Amino acid sequence: MTDSPTPDLPVIVHMERALYDLAARLSTAPDQPTLRRLCEHLHGLDPYDRDRIAPYQLAERLGLTRRLAVDLCVIAARAGLLEISYQVFCLGCGAAEYDYGVLDQVVSGAYFCTVCRRERPADLDDRVEVIFRLSAALGHVRPDPYVDLQAYRRRYFSPHLHFSEPVASALAAGLRGFLALAPGERATVRLELLEGRSLQVLALDAHLVAQIEADHRGDGPREAALHLSAVGIDPPHQHAAPGQLTLHLENQRDRKIGVILRCVDWERVAALYREHPPTVDPYLSARDLLTHQRFVELFGASASLPELRLQIQRLTLLFTDLRGSTRFYLDRGDFDAYYVVREHFALLQGIVRARGGAVVKTMGDAVMAVFADPRDAVAAALDMQEAWSPWSASGLPGLKAGVHHGPALVVNSDGRYDYFGQSVNHAAALQALADGGDIYLSEPVLEASRVREEIDARRHNIEPRELALKGQQAPSLVYRVHQRGGPPAS
Ligand SMILES: [Zn+2]
């Protein structure tokens, strides 16, 4: 089968209704015309595009903000129209060998890139792209990747990494063919081996690669054989004399394999690559999804993987708390205090959502939220102080906030994504230093792009301080951000 059948229309209509029903139950949701546009767009896609819906590209196609496009995809996934897929891809070569249906399955730490033949980090910031595809329940069948090289590339390489023209043409000039081998199938190919170049035999779907060096070492054979099995490729490395080579391939696996044959001048490619590095399109990373409020609300961590530990290199954490709330509870009584705290949560949650972050949890009167971009977190903290100031002016407890940026582990906390590590403790300790009305920032936050501008535009002062944070021996340089006393100097 080469093409997906057109999804059964009644099924789609039924699913669309599920989408509208779900949106109607959400407290904030894209409006009906926008949902309708998404559905119409999905109808019009070809089987390949249905298989790879990238939210940022969708935003461009439909003229939406990226945030709204992610929101639409997440809601559509919850309603059953779309499936989420997490694709680990290599920023060196673009190979996208690993594809998971659940975030929890993503390899932790590092993985081995078959093309680059080296370990690559698999952190959620840069290496894991979130894509959506039309749900199998709607009759979508994934396009056959073995039809030809183009189909294979669409499945196993990221479309977001673009080689420069010189690199792309050097790679294209070295291409010697593509073949798909059924289980047990043998094939023989004849090709020209150029001296000094090596032939790369690459089966990305099976994570296998072999190299045949074209040189006169031992006057190597003009014939070579390769066996691709479940345990590897045999032999992974051999020599052959330059000139005509007869290559015998055998698929000993129980599933189909696609094989790319390339005879490339790798040294030249590497030099060109250094001189003209590839460019990468913006894409939705797993970190970006985890810091999206809607995803956090609608999807949880898998109960089957309680030991989840995934690394995020660059996460911004925001903690807030109400200052002196114990006194306030005593003065007002539980009933009144509870009402105020509830209102304050709703206010803060609305701000986090509007600034593109996600509330991880609330603890007592405290809120913990995560953001992909430090500037959004600082803007949210400033919004919070601004929104809360009339309340604190009326005698309610002041709001304190701390923001830190650093690496953190994503963990599974009873079916919810939570965060763990020193950065989390640091953000909480900053918040603990703050007084009502203050925001404390760490240095990485203040030095992040456009943060100072944001603070300045909001007419707040930045005051450096050397303070000992909870749990730390030596004092740290922290920054207190607070409203300017008088009108700004003009
Ligand atoms: Zn690679």
Report how far ligand 1's centroid is from the alpha carbon of 444 (Å): 30
pLDDT at 108 over 80: no
Cα–Cα distance, 415 to 424 (Å, whole number): 19
Is the CA virtual torsion 177, 182, 188, 194 positive or negative? positive
How would DSSP label each residue in 243-298? EEEEEEEEE-SSS-EEEEEEEE-HHHHHHHHHHS--EE----BHHHHHT-HHHHHH
Q: Is 314 in a helix, a strand, or coil?
A: strand
Cα–Cα distance, 49 to 455 (Å, whole number): 42
Local confidence band at 179 (pLDDT 50, 70, 90 cut-offs): very high
Report how far ligand 1's centroid is from the alpha carbon of 146 (Å): 21
Name the helix (H) or strand (E) containing 9: helix 9-25
Query: Quick one: pLDDT at residue 486?
Result: 40
Query: Quick one: pLDDT at residue 104?
Result: 77
Local confidence band at 1 (pLDDT 50, 70, 90 cut-offs): very low
Report how far ligand 1's centroid is from the alpha carbon of 98 (Å): 12
| Of 153, 131, 130, 155, residue with least CA distance to 142 | 155
Residue 476 falls in which region: left (phi positive, over 0), alpha (psi -120 to 50) or beta: beta
Alpha helices by DSSP H, 369-477: 374-393, 422-433, 443-446, 451-457
Local confidence band at 27 (pLDDT 50, 70, 90 cut-offs): confident
| Higher pLDDT pick, 302 / 199 | 199
Residue 378 has which token pair?
């600082």
Query: Quick one: pLDDT at residue 4?
Result: 47
Local confidence band at 11 (pLDDT 50, 70, 90 cut-offs): low
| Of 321, 384, 323, residue with least CA distance to 349 | 384
| Higher pLDDT pick, 118 / 9 | 118
Report how far ligand 1's centroid is from the alpha carbon of 302 (Å): 29
Query: Quick one: pLDDT at residue 7?
Result: 52
Report how far ligand 1's centroid is from the alpha carbon of 270 (Å): 13
> What is the CATH code for 300-483?
3.30.70.1230
Cα–Cα distance, 58 to 330 (Å, whole number): 52
Report how far ligand 1's centroid is from the alpha carbon of 119 (Å): 9
Contact 253, 230 (CB under 8 A): yes
Report how far ligand 1's centroid is from the alpha carbon of 438 (Å): 46
Q: Is 93 exposed, middle or buried (0-12, 13-18, 19+ CB in 10 A)?
A: buried
Percent of the chain clearing pLDDT 70 (strictly above): 95
Note the residue count of the chain.
490
Report how far ligand 1's centroid is from the alpha carbon of 163 (Å): 13
Could you say which DSSP state residue 477 is in? E
pLDDT in tens, 152-174: 999 999 999 999 999 999 999 99
Q: Is 476 exposed, middle or buried (0-12, 13-18, 19+ CB in 10 A)?
A: middle
Percent of the chain that is helix, strand, coil (3-state, to 5): 35, 30, 30
pLDDT at 180 over 50: yes
pLDDT at 219 over 70: no
The mean per-residue pLDDT over the stretch 233-255 comes to 93
pLDDT at 72 over 90: yes
Report how far ligand 1's centroid is from the alpha carbon of 168 (Å): 15
Query: Quick one: pLDDT at residue 169?
Result: 95
Cα–Cα distance, 407 to 316 (Å, whole number): 9
Query: Quick one: pLDDT at residue 236?
Result: 95
| Of 354, 358, 359, 295, residue with least CA distance to 77 | 295
Report how far ligand 1's centroid is from the alpha carbon of 118 (Å): 7
pLDDT in tens, 423-465: 999 999 999 999 999 999 999 999 999 999 999 999 999 999 9
The answer to which of 1-15, 232-246, 413-427 has the lowest mean pLDDT is: 1-15
Could you say which DSSP state residue 285 is in? B
The mean per-residue pLDDT over the stretch 41-60 comes to 94
Q: Is 89 exposed, middle or buried (0-12, 13-18, 19+ CB in 10 A)?
A: buried
Query: Quick one: pLDDT at residue 8?
Result: 53
Contact 418, 436 (CB under 8 A): no
Local confidence band at 114 (pLDDT 50, 70, 90 cut-offs): very high
pLDDT in tens, 339-389: 999 999 999 999 999 999 999 999 989 999 999 999 999 999 999 999 999
Q: Dihedrals φ, ψ of 104, to 5°?
A: -60, -20
Report how far ligand 1's centroid is from the alpha carbon of 94 (Å): 6
Contact 211, 270 (CB under 8 A): no
Residue 13 contacts by C-beta under 8 Å, 6 or more apart in sequence?
none
Local confidence band at 328 (pLDDT 50, 70, 90 cut-offs): confident
Give Dmax over CA atoms of the chain in angstroms. 93
Q: Is 388 in a helix, a strand, or coil?
A: helix
Report how far ligand 1's centroid is from the alpha carbon of 448 (Å): 29
Q: What is the mean pLDDT of the chain?
A: 90
